[in-house]
């Protein structure tokens, strides 16, 4: 991630690199082939975590080959690309960064070859000490081809490789600070590692003839693997022909998993740290109904990530649920369109009201978040045009007031509507009859009800209290 240290929204500020990604690792028993194909299917099911580029690196035990390109998984890979890539170990990656930084150089996995052997790395997360580490590496002769913080990880592993892979990885992991879910591959083994706070998710699955590591359990389902468990915060898992070896690096720190994984980012059919994502969304909707109920005729949700909370709100309030909004599946992401005008136009093309569900009715509409306010503003317009009598907006996350430095794509502070306006002012600005956000306590109670053992969440984007100091927040250098 690039930080420019500005607190206003200049072109430079909005030009920073955000990364949200999905990672996969496959290890099949020796003699098996087809890791590339399994990796393809697993990556395809993580497409929601990144649509900018896709890549797969495969080892046949002696040699690492890879292919990566800009585009969606099925655009980057087809049978003629996959068939010639043989091997029983693979790592894959999908990248989601802003279009200003859409360069093939940033695509992953990063692969390096030295006389000691090859290494491939897929990383989801953001390193907060990237600038210092990069400088350190440059002083000792390293050169960089990308703007990605993930490149420092492979450079450090490469530099330490002579100590052995296990040591090289632990030394590297002790240097890097921030969020990371890593899949690392050598010619002989697959390694998974999760940052000490467990900010980004990573899980382990078992197939008939091997192992799978992935950002989300929906990728395990896609390849017929069974979810064994989540990789623990601060855990390294090494998979080779002797089986699975697990150990913990560094000191134990409090777990702080990103709440946005449950709110928006993860797929509803995934289970993260024992919590089924759809269940979490249903419960957040129920809490929202309890905290800010309103008299209405129908509850609708903003597709796709608002639907679970809308169903939960409807069930808890007794107000009938209806489709209400239709999403055009073939349109790109309005969220990262480069200008506000483009973002607003995209929302109109992307989302439309179902008149028969809302005409003449008092509507409660649930979305997972308000970031800039673009979607809410446009949707209220669309619903009123379709004849809605009243529109009550309910949000299944607390107000997003602070940028994320740990891997979720949020704009700089000046663009976050909740950082400068109160709930009442936002309600007026978006043109709703009423507006309410879930409370932080309410949201955490919804999750704890599902898996008390999974306690500990990062609330940085709601409270400004981050799991560790972030460069953009230090000494007034705010983005
Ligand atoms: P906004 O329109 O700027 O208020 O953004 C809120 C909408 O964007 C909601 O409908 C969310 O589902 C969606 N959203 C929230 N966070 C993200 C993200 N990091 N990337 C893409 N879309 C997002």
Kindly report the CATH number assigned to the domain that includes residue 428. 3.40.50.2020
Q: Are residues 432 and 291 in the same domain?
A: yes
9 — pLDDT class (breaks 50, 70, 90): very low
pLDDT band at 326 (very low <50, low <70, confident <90, very high): very high
Check whether residue 246 and residue 378 sit in a common domain: no
User: How many whole angstroms separate alpha carbon 66 and alpha carbon 91?
Assistant: 9
Number of domains in the chain: 2
Asked whether 264 lines ligand 1 (CB < 6 A), one says yes
Residue 194's H or E segment, with its range, is strand 190-194
pLDDT of 7 higher than 80: no
Query: Pick from 220, 253, 286: which residue ends a domain?
Result: 253
How far apart are the CA of 333 and the centre of ligand 1, in A? 9
Residue 218 sits in the same domain as residue 299: no
In a domain, 13, yes or no: no
C-alpha 401 – ligand 1 centre gap (Å):
14
Which of ligand 1's atoms lies nearest the C-alpha of 333? 21
Closest to 108 measured CA to CA, from 184, 200, 199: 184
- Asked whether residue 302 falls in the same domain as residue 381, the answer is yes
Q: Does the pLDDT value for residue 18 go beyond 70?
A: no
CB atoms within 10 A of CB 138: 12
- Residue 47 within a domain: yes
In a domain, 468, yes or no: no
Give the CATH number, domain containing residue 162: 3.60.20.10
Q: Do 66 and 177 lie in a common domain? A: yes
Structural domain of residue 198, as residue ranges? 18-253
Q: Is 479 a member of any domain? A: no
Q: Are residues 343 and 386 in the same domain?
A: yes
CA R_g for the chain: 22
Average pLDDT over residues 109-116: 91
For the Cβ of 374 lying below 6 angstroms from any atom of ligand 1, the answer is yes
pLDDT of 479 strictly over 50: no
Give this prediction's pTM: 0.93
Closest C-alpha to 198, from 250, 147, 129: 250
**For residue 293, with 0-12 CB atoms within 10 Å meaning exposed, 13-18 middle and 19 or more buried, which class applies?**
middle
DSSP helix/strand/coil, 278: helix
Query: Does 335 lie in the same domain as 245?
Result: no
The token pair that represents 217 in the structure block: 């359990």
Q: Is residue 211 domain-shared with residue 298, that is, in the same domain? A: no
pLDDT digits (tens, 9 = 90+) for 280-314: 999 999 999 999 999 999 999 999 999 999 999 99
Same domain, 207 and 328: no
Contacts of 139 by beta carbon, 8 Å cutoff, 6+ apart: none
Q: Using a 6 Å cutoff on CB, does residue 23 contact ligand 1?
A: no
Of 21, 218, 258, 458, the catalytic one is 21
What are the phi and psi torsion angles at 338 (to 5°)?
Answer: -70, -30
User: What single-letter DSSP state applies at residue 263?
Assistant: I
Q: Which two tokens stand for residue 114?
A: 């030295």
Cα–Cα distance measured from residue 301 to residue 303, given in angstroms and rounded to the nearest whole number: 6
Distance 32 CA to ligand 1 centre (A): 42
How many CA atoms does the CB half-sphere of 411 hold within 13 Å?
23
State the alpha helices, DSSP H only, in 78-164: 79-82, 130-139, 150-160
Average pLDDT (406-425) is 90
Whether 87 and 36 have beta carbons less than 8 Å apart is answered as yes
Report yes or no on 156 lying in a domain.
yes
Say whether both 340 and 240 belong to one domain. no
Known active-site residue 21: yes
150 neighbors 123 (Cβ within 8 angstroms): yes
**Same domain flag for 195 and 288:** no
**Co-location of 92 and 204 in the same domain:** yes
Instruction: For residue 52, give both structure tokens.
Output: 């900018």
- Do 357 and 324 form a contact (C-beta atoms < 8 A)? yes
Q: Is residue 465 part of a domain?
A: no
Query: Residue 360 domain-assigned?
Result: yes
Q: Is residue 362 part of a domain?
A: yes
Distance 265 CA to ligand 1 centre (A): 10
The terminus-to-terminus CA distance of the chain in angstroms comes to 12
Give pLDDT, residue 360.
98
């Amino acid at each position: 991630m690039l930080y420019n240290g500005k607190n206003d929204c200049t072109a430079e500020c909005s030009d920073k690199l955000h990364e949200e990604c999905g990672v996969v690792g496959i290890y099949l028993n020796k003699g098996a082939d087809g890791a590339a194909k399994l990796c393809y299917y697993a990556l395809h099911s993580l497409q929601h975590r990144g649509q900018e580029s896709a890549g797969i690196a495969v080892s046949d035990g002696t040699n690492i080959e890879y292919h990566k390109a800009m585009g969606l998984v099925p655009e980057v890979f087809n049978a003629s690309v996959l068939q010639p890539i043989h091997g029983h170990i693979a790592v894959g990656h999908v990248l989601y960064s802003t279009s200003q930084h859409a360069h093939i150089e940033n695509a992953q996995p990063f692969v390096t070859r030295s006389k000691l052997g090859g290494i491939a790395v897929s990383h989801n997360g953001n390193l907060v000490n990237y600038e210092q580490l990069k400088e350190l590496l440059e002083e000792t002769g390293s050169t960089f081809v990308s703007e990605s913080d993930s490149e420092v990880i492979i450079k450090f592993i490469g530099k330490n490789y002579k100590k052995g892979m296990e040591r090289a990885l632990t030394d590297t992991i002790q240097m890097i600070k921030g969020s990371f879910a890593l899949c690392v591959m050598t010619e002989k083994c697959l390694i998974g590692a999760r940052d000490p706070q467990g900010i980004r998710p990573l899980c382990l699955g078992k197939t008939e003839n091997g192992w799978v590591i992935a950002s989300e359990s929906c990728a395990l389902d896609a390849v017929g693997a069974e979810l064994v468990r989540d990789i623990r915060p601060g855990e390294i898992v090494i998979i080779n022909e002797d089986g699975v070896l697990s150990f913990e690096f560094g000191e134990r720190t409090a777990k702080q998993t990103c709440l946005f994984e449950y709110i928006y980012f993860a797929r509803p059919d995934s289970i993260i740290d024992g919590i089924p994502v759809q269940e979490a969304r249903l419960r957040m909707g129920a809490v929202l109904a309890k905290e800010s109920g309103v008299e209405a005729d129908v509850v609708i949700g903003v597709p796709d990530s608002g639907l679970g909370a809308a169903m939960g709100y409807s069930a808890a309030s007794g107000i009938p649920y209806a489709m209400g909004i239709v999403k055009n599946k073939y349109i790109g992401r309005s969220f990262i369109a480069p200008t506000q005008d483009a973002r607003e136009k995209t929302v109109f093309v992307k989302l439309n009201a179902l008149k028969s569900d809302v005409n003449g009715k008092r509507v409660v509409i649930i979305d997972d978040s308000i970031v800039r306010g673009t979607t809410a503003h446009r949707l209220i317009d669309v619903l009123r045009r379709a004849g809605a009598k009243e529109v009550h907006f309910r949000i299944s996350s607390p107000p997003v007031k602070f940028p994320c430095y740990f891997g979720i794509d949020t704009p700089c502070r000046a663009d976050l509507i909740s950082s400068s306006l109160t709930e009442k002012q936002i309600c007026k600005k978006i043109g709703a009859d009423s507006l309410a956000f879930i409370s932080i306590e309410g949201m955490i109670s919804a999750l704890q009800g599902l898996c008390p053992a999974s306690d500990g969440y990062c609330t940085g984007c709601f409270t400004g209290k981050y799991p560790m100091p972030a460069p953009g927040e230090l000494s007034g250098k705010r983005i």
